[in-house]
């Protein structure tokens, strides 16, 4: 049976991930955005490690290590580096103001609990609570992408969505087969680098990374 | 055996990237390499058609993969052949340098590699990885011209497709979850092992999984309302790349959706749920595409919206299901890619000659480039479903499927929209082909060698309109059972 301490740790870490979602939406500075994302990934990695310990499924440890190494260290550094290089202004410049954004995110979270209720019972017992949080994380990440101006905040939003997907994988299926897991990490990593390259090119061409300038193509 | 189709494009890509400024050598190697890829890919397709599925552990090909493989290597080969004169012209006008040409061919082969990986991977997780890889690799091709508009298109492409695809990953996880009670920890997410226990998969997880997969891969396939990246990316890419994106990549994404559709058909859920969803998104795509085709001002965007329309028709085919629906849908995948490649090649010639994508600024193609004009007109007639071309046949099959199912409202909307699209699309093309060419446009084709792949495609769609080769027909009929179309 599941150890109570582990279960509490898992729930606490899941709550931390949800808290990080709200902090991301509430932060107005680029720097804090990447730091909170790193924190969220750290919580994600920790959660995976506890699940690995509890279930004895060895390769979840790999997920945990990769999640921490890539998403909590390498990718946030890379984003900071790109942001410095293109001298992006430090403000996030939300299209939806922060208080409004927080309200929307609260609504999203409730919606996530509501829609996952029918499948929560089907999920594995120890982490069923995580499923709702993973849905909320996916949706909040998407909301970040549409409501923030800068190309780089769109990339952070995408990474938050991916954290949500990973939480779902770890909590409902104890992660995926090893080869898939590695491939997914590889794709995310390459994806972030390519997006960085294009953010750089956009900056050079438009002299801004404000993605609202990307409005020329239309019908 | 299947590895050959994966290793050779990888090797070709590396060679192209290493050769750098030796443009002539790159061209020769690319054409020869794409030719050998065509031979090996067609052989694999032939084997699946002739002997049935090839299972090599992580790589798996049945007739469906065989059909896709054939489309990839055929359009890939023709796109490479067309690229040679196209890129020479771009170099002559100073649009691109020699170094960039080597990147172009290199990424073209990487793009083909990732698409081949989509259709030969047995593991649904690997399919996801490969689909995401197609986005990452082709982003460089979409943004090839490095202009403000192409960067915008690339950014939209990267962001919208990545977000879509992360939903597909979530869907994949739920489908995996549906198999865990049956297969336990040993479940490897292989499509074949899921199919073996399809009857015992958990319906609740499958249902939500399919919805997410359909939205996710549907984004990549260009199904409305997730299609918004498509007209930008397809119109901003170099024309041979547009042909690959429209003709091949959309099919590959649709292929991924359909693998799950097959799974659902054999599950306790039955095929009704997934075919209903396919029908809904197909209809929506058809409607959205028609609206934008009517008001279109840019001929490459016109072709892009036409791709959304045809992906819609394919989805509708599988949505109706039954013998004719599945047969028509599968055939339409092949027919659409052949015809759309022809049109994008023609559009490439027009763009290089007139230097504009605006329909209103292009007049008298018939006078300046008679061969291109004839092939374009033929392609336009074919894509709008006129007899005796192949698309006519598959569109009629889909229509017959709908009538057979007794779903009259969709049938009426479907045929109504097809008529409207015919009139609008032909109106645009006719205006471009006839009339007085604007002053300053010289007569003469861009190149003769660029016409060859177009002639080949035109011949193919005419022949396919008159009869379907026996081997292909038999293979498609065998697939109908897989889609549950025999009941």
Residues from chain A that touch B176, judged by Cβ atoms under 8 A, are: 173, 176
Q: In Å, how far is A75's CA from the nearest CA of chain B?
A: 16
Helix, strand, or coil (residue A16): helix
Contact between chains at B162 and A158 (C-beta distance less than 8 A) = yes
Chain A CB within 8 Å of residue B169 CB: yes
Mean of the pLDDT values across residues B394-403? 95
Contact between chains at A118 and B173 (C-beta distance less than 8 A) = no
Mean of the pLDDT values across residues B111-123? 96
Q: What is the mean pLDDT of chain A?
A: 86
Mean of the pLDDT values across residues B384-401? 94
Of B226, B301, B249, the residue nearest A217 (C-alpha): B301
Mean of the pLDDT values across residues A51-58? 84
Which residue among B125, B231, B295 sits closest to A183, beta carbon to beta carbon? Answer: B125
Rounded distance between C-alpha atoms, residue A140 and residue A163, angstroms: 11
Q: In Å, how far is B441's CA from the nearest CA of chain A?
A: 26
Contact between chains at B126 and A123 (C-beta distance less than 8 A) = no
pLDDT at res. B487:
46
Which residue among B174, B185, B301 sits closest to A219, beta carbon to beta carbon? Answer: B301
pLDDT tens across B1-51, in order? 889 899 999 999 999 999 988 999 999 999 999 999 999 999 999 999 999
Residues from chain A that touch B166, judged by Cβ atoms under 8 A, are: 138, 158, 161-162, 165
Rounded distance between C-alpha atoms, residue B38 and residue B4, angstroms: 12
Residues from chain B that touch A205, judged by Cβ atoms under 8 A, are: 146-148, 151
| A143 band by pLDDT with thresholds 50, 70 and 90 | very high
Contact between chains at A165 and B149 (C-beta distance less than 8 A) = no
Chain A CB within 8 Å of residue B156 CB: yes
Chain A CB within 8 Å of residue B126 CB: yes
Q: Find residue B236's DSSP bridge partners.
A: none
Give the N- to C-terminal CA distance of chain A in Å, as an integer: 59
pLDDT at res. B390:
94
pLDDT tens across B130-165, in order? 999 999 999 999 999 888 899 999 999 999 999 999
- Is the pLDDT reported for residue B419 higher than 50? yes
Higher pLDDT, B168 or A83: B168
Contact between chains at B149 and A216 (C-beta distance less than 8 A) = yes
Chain A residue nearest residue B168, CA to CA: A165
Which residue among A154, A173, A206 sits closest to B173, beta carbon to beta carbon? Answer: A173
Least confident range from A14-23, A194-203, B179-188: namely: B179-188
Residues from chain A that touch B127, judged by Cβ atoms under 8 A, are: none
Contact between chains at A187 and B295 (C-beta distance less than 8 A) = no
Residues from chain A that touch B232, judged by Cβ atoms under 8 A, are: 217
Chain B residue nearest residue A163, CA to CA: B166
Residues from chain A that touch B297, judged by Cβ atoms under 8 A, are: 219
Contact between chains at B189 and A176 (C-beta distance less than 8 A) = yes
Test mutation, A171, A176, A199, A212, chain B, max B CBs within 10 A: A176
pLDDT at res. A44:
93
Contact between chains at B125 and A211 (C-beta distance less than 8 A) = no
Residues from chain B that touch A154, judged by Cβ atoms under 8 A, are: 159
The interface pTM score, or ipTM, of the predicted complex is 0.92
Least confident range from A161-175, B147-161, B242-256, B313-327: namely: A161-175
Which residue among B167, B180, B236 sits closest to A173, beta carbon to beta carbon? Answer: B180
Residues from chain A that touch B126, judged by Cβ atoms under 8 A, are: 179-180, 183
Test mutation, B151, B181, B358, chain A, max A CBs within 10 A: B151
Q: Find residue B298's DSSP bridge partners.
A: B358
Contact between chains at B151 and A205 (C-beta distance less than 8 A) = yes
Q: In Å, how far is A103's CA from the nearest CA of chain B?
A: 23
- Is the pLDDT reported for residue A45 higher than 70? yes
| B486 band by pLDDT with thresholds 50, 70 and 90 | low
Q: In Å, how far is B290's CA from the nearest CA of chain A?
A: 13
Test mutation, A177, A197, A200, A213, chain B, max B CBs within 10 A: A177
- Is the pLDDT reported for residue A88 higher than 80? no
Chain A residue nearest residue B125, CA to CA: A180
How many residue pairs from chains A and B have C-beta atoms closer than 8 A?
129
């Amino acid at each position: 049976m599941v150890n109570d301490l582990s279960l509490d740790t898992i729930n606490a870490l899941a709550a931390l991930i949800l808290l990080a979602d709200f902090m991301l939406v509430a932060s107005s500075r680029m720097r804090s955005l990447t730091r909170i994302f790193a924190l969220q990934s750290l919580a994600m990695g920790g959660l995976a490690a506890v699940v690995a310990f509890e279930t004895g499924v060895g390769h979840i440890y790999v997920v945990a290590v990769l999640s921490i190494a890539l998403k909590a260290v390498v990718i946030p550094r890379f984003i900071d580096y790109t942001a410095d290089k293109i001298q992006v202004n430090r403000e996030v410049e939300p299209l939806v103001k922060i208080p409004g954004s927080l309200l929307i995110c609260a609504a999203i979270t409730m919606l996530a609990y509501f829609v996952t209720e029918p499948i929560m019972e089907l999920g594995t017992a120890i982490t069923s609570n995580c499923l709702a949080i993973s849905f909320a994380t996916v949706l909040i990440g998407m909301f970040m992408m549409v409501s923030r101006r800068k190309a780089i905040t769109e990339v952070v939003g995408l990474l938050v969505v991916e954290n949500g997907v990973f939480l779902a994988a770890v909590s409902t299926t104890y992660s995926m087969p090893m080869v898939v897991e590695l491939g997914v990490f590889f794709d995310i990593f390459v994806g972030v680098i390519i997006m960085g390259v294009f953010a750089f090119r956009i900056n050079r061409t438009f002299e801004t990374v404000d993605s609202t300038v990307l409005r020329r193509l239309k019908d | 055996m299947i590895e050959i189709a994966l290793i050779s494009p990888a090797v070709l890509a590396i060679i192209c990237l290493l050769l750098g400024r030796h443009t002539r050598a790159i061209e020769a190697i690319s054409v020869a390499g794409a030719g050998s890829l065509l031979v090996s890919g067609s052989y694999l397709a032939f084997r699946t058609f002739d002997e049935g599925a090839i299972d090599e552990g992580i790589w798996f090909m049945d007739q469906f993969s065989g059909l896709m493989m054939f489309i990839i290597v055929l359009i890939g080969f023709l796109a490479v052949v067309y690229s040679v004169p196209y890129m020479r012209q771009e170099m002559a006008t100073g649009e691109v340098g020699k170094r960039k040409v080597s990147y172009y061919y290199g990424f073209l082969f990487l793009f083909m590699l990732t698409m081949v990986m989509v259709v030969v991977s047995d593991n649904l997780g690997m399919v996801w990885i490969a689909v995401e890889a197609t986005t990452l690799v082709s982003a460089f091709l979409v943004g090839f011209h490095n202009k403000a508009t192409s960067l915008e298109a690339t950014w939209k492409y990267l962001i919208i497709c990545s977000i879509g695809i992360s939903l597909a990953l979530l869907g994949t996880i739920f489908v995996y979850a549906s198999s865990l009670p049956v297969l336990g920890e040993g479940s490897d997410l292989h499509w074949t092992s899921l199919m073996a226990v399809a009857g015992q998969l958990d319906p609740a997880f499958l249902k939500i999984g399919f919805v997410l997969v359909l939205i996710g891969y549907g984004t990549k396939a260009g199904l409305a309302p997730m299609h918004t990246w498509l007209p930008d990316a397809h119109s901003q890419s170099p024309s041979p790349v547009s042909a690959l994106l429209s003709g091949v990549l959309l099919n590959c994404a649709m292929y991924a959706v359909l693998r799950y559709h097959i799974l659902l058909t054999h599950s306790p859920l039955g095929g009704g749920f997934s075919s209903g969803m396919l029908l809904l998104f197909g209809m929506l795509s058809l409607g959205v595409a028609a609206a934008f085709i009517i008001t279109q001002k840019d001929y490459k965007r016109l072709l892009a919206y036409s791709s959304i329309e045809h992906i819609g028709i394919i989805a509708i085919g599988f949505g109706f299901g039954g013998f004719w629906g599945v047969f028509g849908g599968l055939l339409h995948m092949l027919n659409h890619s052949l015809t759309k490649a022809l049109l994008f090649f023609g559009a490439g010639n027009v763009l290089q000659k007139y230097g504009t994508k605006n329909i209103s600024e292009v007049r008298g193609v018939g006078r300046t480039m008679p061969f291109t004009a004839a092939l374009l007109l033929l392609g336009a007639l074919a894509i709008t479903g006129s007899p005796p071309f192949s698309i006519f046949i598959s569109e009629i099959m889909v229509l017959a499927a709908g009538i057979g199912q007794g779903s009259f409202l969709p049938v009426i909307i479907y045929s109504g929209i097809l008529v409207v699209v015919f009139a609008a699309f032909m109106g645009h093309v006719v205006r471009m082909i006839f009339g007085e060419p604007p002053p300053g446009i010289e007569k003469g084709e861009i190149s003769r060698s660029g016409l060859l792949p177009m002639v080949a495609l035109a011949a193919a769609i005419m022949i396919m309109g008159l009869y379907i080769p026996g081997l292909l027909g038999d293979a498609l009929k065998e697939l109908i059972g897989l889609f549950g179309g025999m009941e």
